[in-house]
Structure 1
Amino acid sequence: MESEFSSQLQSQVFEVLSSNDNSPMEVLFSHLFSREQSQKSHAHAFFECSKRHYPDVLFIKLCFLIRCSPRVETRANAIRVVRFVRICDLWPKLREMAQSTLKGHFLAYLREESSMAVLRMFCVVMGETVREVCKGGKQWPELIEFVLTSLGKTNDEKLLETALLVLANLPRDCRSFICDALKGSIQVIHSSFLSGLASASPDVQVASFGAVLTLVALFSDPSNPGLFHDLLRAMMVGIFSLLRCPQDGYVHIAFKELINLVQEGPQPLRPYMSDMVLDMLQIAENSSLNEEIHCCALRLVISMTELQEFNPILLSLPHETLVRLFLVPMKMLLCVKEDMMQNELKSELDGNTGKINVYKFGLGCLYQLSITLGESKIVPIALELLPHYLNSSEWKMRHAGITMLTVLAKEFSFETQILMEDSLGQVLAKIIELFQDSHFQVRWAAFNFMVIPTTFVQVVQILYHSRLVLAFVAALDNEQNNKVKEQAASAMLFFLKNTLPDSLLFCQDVDIVMVKLLVLLQGNENAKDRSIVLSAFNIVAERSRKVALEHHVNYLTILVEACNDNNSEVKEEAARGIRICAELGSMQFKPFINRILPKLNILMQHPNQQLSENAKAHDIAVSVLGRICVCHRDCIDASKLVPAWLSLLPLKDDLNEAKLMHEQLCLMAARLDKELLGPGNQNLVKIIAVFVEVIGMGDKLATMETVKNMSNLLREFWRTIPRSSLELILLSFNSQQQDLLLSLVST
């Protein structure tokens, strides 16, 4: 295979690697870790070329710098480069003698290196090297001897931490090799681990956590459970000890190792889960600790709840303990930011910088606890706590309460319990009260709750639809915050779409609803608010034609202008609104026709060349033209507009409008509409073509009744059309259409 690196670069690489002068390598290190892209790229190419053509020389050079360079920075950078070029790619290319020599150098270096910061980095390299040695099926007895000797010297913290770090950094796939080699020394290792976990040095303590995780299989012998019990207890004591450390980083590492222990070796932990939960609650409830520590403690509990084998133990915890556990994520929900809705991007950036978003973390934990504990456990707790939150004078408490209700409503049909307690109306009354809350984020959360497709929301929509309509109208009328107004409009639209079609008939205030929506339409709303309100207006207009007749003149001007909007959803809803107005057939609509037709023409032009987002607006515009042709024929030149409408069929993108228009076409054809058929029935070929295409799509583009009627009409046309015309029709169709048509008319 031809090299991708030039001969000049290869020569330069060999010269640098074989030189006794280390300064060129130090320069390359600085370039590789530089922010300057050209320097970084050159150094990257140098080491990739070294790795390809001189892997053994590169590895030996780096190892020499690691052990012999007098500069701490050079030793650290050499270790970074070893990781960059990857041990797994270099070690197998070394001769056996070189591997043996390097293993000796590595062990000597572990004893000699004075900088613990550099040693901690090197222990990662040691772990990767052990993996490569194990892959070859070879033993490394010198490493085992080093570990045991170093663990035995508990009075030498540097050597003890180094041995613990070597164990902590062993990859998972070679841990069994080490465990087998250390079986005969369990008591020595156990004693050393206990000493490390109790060390006054937090560095030694966190290294001990990692080492226990690596060798957990060594202490999981059912015949001697005391070994693991002692270690786990020491780890929990160690966690509380590290909490007193001024630097949080240590306790974070310890928690991370405990979580790994839960995920990788859960079985030995089963007898101690209840105690661990209580310990974690003690930490999570401690107000003197920061929020990130609280999150670490709760994350450990959540890691337990994610394992099915722990669920029975969790469910058997006393009610009081479960309430305490539930209150931890609820407390985290109080960390909601004042400007959460207006600065959503910042919360995303928080996640990217490694900083915990406590509110989002608490929300996720609440979901997980709900799933694990189940409805029978979680709902009574929630109902017990809900009044405390919703009736609080603190807005963050009220926000947390409605958020909790949202989470649980998604997971459970807990309206059963509320109905049993005869408090459904009380809960709804509280939610409606929150629609007018003094804080905008509480109002937003309340409206957000009402757009979630849950059984609870469906029940209150059916039982209390009139109260909800009035509450939505009042909110839309009074709301000043645009985000909240948008959410309120979404909640009303969701309500209108999901209640029974005749539910508005039982409300009197429909007229008020229309007036309020009209005011919103006339306001200076953004595109999304305009589309939501238009959609709500259209639903009300379709369900209450009498009220629509009273108001449609007032909003027709708005609808016509909205057809010019850049937002495709606004254009769709505007066109749909005009179609509804056209269907009313009132005399008041007729003066608008000459203004409407040019707007429709723009929407209907070249649908195949338009962006796909405009495809539905095109279909709705065709539907408007169709309704004008039927309901207002006395105001148009039907001989031109009806054939123009026919030429745009069939519709395929807005399936609702497609079914309406294809039904209309079928009815017009059945009554032999003269403008539809055209002079001498010249449009019959097009009509038949549309019928064939619609029928071929089954019930996608038309109802089954319309498909049946179209099929009957085709057979009727076939019997009455002259033979010569039939042949012309068949010639105008492709082979697939011909086959379908012949099969339809022959039955």
Structure 2
Amino acid sequence: MTIPPEAQKQLREQILLSVQNEQSTNIRLKICDVVAEVARNLIDDDGNNQWPEFLQFLFQCANGPVPALKKSALRIFTSVPGVFGNQQASYLDLIKQMLQQSILDSSNYEVQFQAVRALGAFIIIHEKESNIQKHFVELLPPMLQVTIKSAENEDDEALLKVLIDLAESTPKYLRSQLEQIMEMCMKIFSNEDKGDSWRQLALEVIVTLSETAPAMVRKVGSKYIAALVLKMMTDDDDSNTHPRVRYATCNAVGQMSTDFAPILYYILKMMTDLDEDETWSVSDEIIDDDNDSNTVVAESALDRLSCGLGGKTMLPHIVQNIPTMLNNNDWKYRHAALMAISAVGEGCHKQMEAILGQIMEGIIQYLQDPHPRVRYATCNAVGQMSTDFAPIFEKKFHDKVIPDLLMVLDDNANPRVQAHAGAALVNFSKDCPKNILTPYLNAIMEKLQNILTAKFQELVSKGTKLVLEQVVTTTASVADT
């Protein structure tokens, strides 16, 4: 059914009046959404805005004295930032003035908050128009100040999400304030009293910038990344560090700015955020880790940072941290170190390949670690490196990897570790040259056959099948190779 033109006109007038007159905040917000949708549909294919009264209404509300109407105008503009259509060029200074006045309105934080969202939306729809970004770049410092205030208040995460969207779509727009953005995000991320979602969002800003503007981050963030190593090497138990090394580290720390929280240190620390669960290693049903958990987020961030910034930037700091973590009495740090090695192989491939021998010498012993989750993480690292560095890895380390994985396959007390050893063997055998794998086939197949026999009996008596399913897969993979 088509609404007659006169009725359409009345509808448009009424919804604008409703925005102005409605006393309920929730209802007014819903009316704003309706107005935004109507405005969106009144821009034709040629970019002509067929509702000029709306544009006048927008500026009147945004520049008027009533905070609720300012917020309403900014909310509508956030929803439809392209509302000016082909007339935008002539309105550009007025749009800037509207946003600038609102962002600088220190007497009303809610207006500032909505203005930041509106500015973010406007810049993002002009992601390919550098002239418009330059025109609005002077609004970036006050925008960042409001975002900092938002993080301090911990009232709404929306502004950090705006920053993530800008980092993804228009990283060059953020260039002039990159150091301030890094500092803010590091401050949030390093504050372990902050909520997990705030810390994760702050980390996401840094990681996204590392992916979309790696050169910018390398230039500005080098001091942050250098600080991580020093912080990591002076943290926790340093009994295994030579005194002269500790002295040199402390001396370097004294010469370095301490205003910035160390990224890698806190990423690695976040990877230790694991629960003590005595049933974990004996569970027959694998429940995937929550994608929002700190450990999953941190591991993903390490992977993405390595791919974004590259091995030259990342690997030296990671490698220097790993021995300290592996020597930690707390199993969670050993686990994190091994999972970190798994995570950075793709991004640091060239640099890691040159030191594979040192890495393997450092980690292979942890297949015999007293804690089952550390043994699991070692299997994970070995399996991942088997894939990332094939076939060089298989050629160099078959005499260590195969016997040690076969040993872990005997870990009947911890079926989840046992199964993961089988999964690592799949990765290893997949790209292993036949002439290298063949001498081990009898030992491998005998081991797998013995486990199959035992696990079939367990399936009948207990109903457990995790290891059985993995060993069937491993047997098929080895046979296929």
**2:64 matched to which residue of 1?**
153
**How many angstroms does 1:111 deviate by?**
0.8
Q: Which moved more, 1:478-487 or 1:458-467?
A: 458-467
Matches of 1:379 and 1:268 in 2, distance apart? 29
**Within-5 A mapping of 1:498-517:** 498-501=431-434, 503=436
Picking from 5, 9, 13, the partner of 1:104 is: 13
In 1, Cα distance between equivalents of 2:151 and 2:473: 56
The answer to whether structure 1 residue 122 and structure 2 residue 54 are counterparts is no
Partner of 2:323: 387
Q: Pick the aligned partner of 1:320 from 213, 223, 229.
A: 223
Change in 2 beyond 3 A, CA 1:493/1:129:
closer
Question: Cα distance 1:139–1:300, how it changes in 2: closer, same or farther (>3 A)?
Answer: same
Change in Cα spacing, 1:451 to 1:98, as seen in structure 2 (3 Å) is same
Q: Which of 289, 309, 312 is the aligned partner of 1:373?
A: 309
Equivalent of residue 51 in structure 2, options 118, 140, 148: 140
Gaps of 5+ in 1: 1-54, 56-92, 539-568, 577-653, 657-747
Q: Matched residue of 2:220: which SS?
A: coil
After TM superposition, the structure 1 = structure 2 runs for residues 446-461 of structure 1, keeping only pairs within 5 Å, are: 446-452=378-384, 453-454=386-387, 456=389, 458-461=391-394
The superposition leaves residues 257-308 of structure 1 with CA deviations (integer Å, 9 ceiling, x where unpaired) of: 222333444443233223322221122112221111011112222332342x
The normalised TM-score by structure 2 is 0.76
Counterparts in 2 of 1:104 and 1:464: CA distance versus 1, 3 Å? closer
Q: Give the number of the structure with larger relative contact order, counting CA–CA contacts within 8 Å between residues 6 or more apart.
A: 2
SS of the residue 1:288 aligns to: coil
Match of 2:178 in 1: 273
- 2:144 is aligned to 236
Give the gaps of 5 or more residues in structure 2.
Answer: 229-261, 460-464
Note closer, same or farther for the CA distance 1:500–1:206 as it changes in structure 2 (3 Å cut).
same
Q: Map 1:201-600 onto structure 2 (within 5 A).
A: 201=109, 203-216=110-123, 228-229=137-138, 231-245=139-153, 247=155, 250=156, 252-307=157-212, 310-322=213-225, 323=228, 324-338=262-276, 342=283, 344-345=286-287, 347=289, 356-411=292-347, 412-418=349-355, 424-425=357-358, 427-452=359-384, 453-454=386-387, 456=389, 458-492=391-425, 494-495=427-428, 498-501=431-434, 503=436, 519-525=450-456, 529-530=467-468
Over 3 Å counting, the alpha-carbon distance change for 1:400 and 1:417 in structure 2 is: same
Is the Cα–Cα contact under 8 Å of residues 193 and 212 in structure 1 kept in the other structure? no
Amino acid of the structure 1 residue aligned with 2:113 = V
SS of residue paired to 2:375: helix
Superposed CA deviations along residues 68-104 of structure 1, whole A, max 9, x for unmatched, are xxxxxxxxxxxxxxxxxxxxxxxxx322212211111
Structure 1 residue 366, shift from structure 2 partner: 2.0
Q: Alignment partner of 1:410: what SS?
A: coil
Distance in structure 2 (CA, Å) of the matches to 1:175 and 1:393: 62
> Is 1:410–1:454's contact at 8 Å kept on the other side of the alignment?
no
**Rounded Cα–Cα distance in structure 1 between residues aligned with 2:209 and 2:473:** 46
Q: Secondary structure of the residue that 1:392 maps to in structure 2? A: coil
Distance in structure 2 (CA, Å) of the matches to 1:519 and 1:463: 28
Structure 1 position 157, deviation (Å): 1.9
RMSD after superposition: 3.7
Alignment partners' CA distance in 1, 2:173 and 2:430:
53
- Offset at residue 378 of structure 1 (A): 1.8
Counterpart in the other structure of 2:231: none
CA contact (8 A) 2:103 2:111 kept: no
Are the aligned partners of 1:190 and 1:227 in contact in 2 as well (CA < 8 Å)?
A: no
Question: Which has the greater radius of gyration?
Answer: 1
Q: What letter matches 1:434 in structure 2?
A: Y
CA distance in 1, matches of 2:22, 2:31: 10
State which drifts further: 443-452 or 288-297: 443-452
Q: Answer yes or no: is the 8 Å Cα contact 1:194–1:234 preserved in 2.
A: yes
Report sequence identity in percent: 20
CA distance 1:270–1:407, shift in 2 (3 Å)? same
Which range moved further: 377-386 or 491-500? Answer: 491-500
TM-fit CA distance, 1:204? 2.8
Cα distance, 1:185 vs structure 2: 2.8
* Whole-angstrom distance in 2 between the partners of 1:223 and 1:523: 69
How high is the TM-score relative to the length of structure 1?
0.51
Instruction: Give the C-alpha shift of residue 344 in structure 1.
Output: 4.6
Cα displacement (A) at 1:129: 0.8
Cα shift readout 1:642-686 (whole Å, capped 9, x = no counterpart): xxxxxxxxxxxx9x9xxxxxxxxxxxxxxxxxxxxxxxxxxxxxx
1:165 to 1:271, Cα distance in 2 relative to 1, 3 A: same
Paired residues of 1:451 and 1:494 also in contact (CA < 8 A): yes
Change (3 A) 1:127 1:243: same
Structure 2 residue 132 is the aligned partner of structure 1 residue 195: no
Instruction: Specify whether residues 457 and 134 from structure 1 end up closer, same or farther in structure 2 by C-alpha distance, changes over 3 A only.
Output: closer
Q: How does 1:647-662 map to 2 (within 5 A)?
A: none
Shift in CA distance, 139/494, structure 1 to aligned 2, threshold 3 Å: closer
Show the 5 A alignment for 1:58-73: none
1:441–1:169 CA distance, 2 compared to 1 (3 A): same
Distance in 2, matches of 1:213 and 1:530, equals 53
Aligned residues: 429
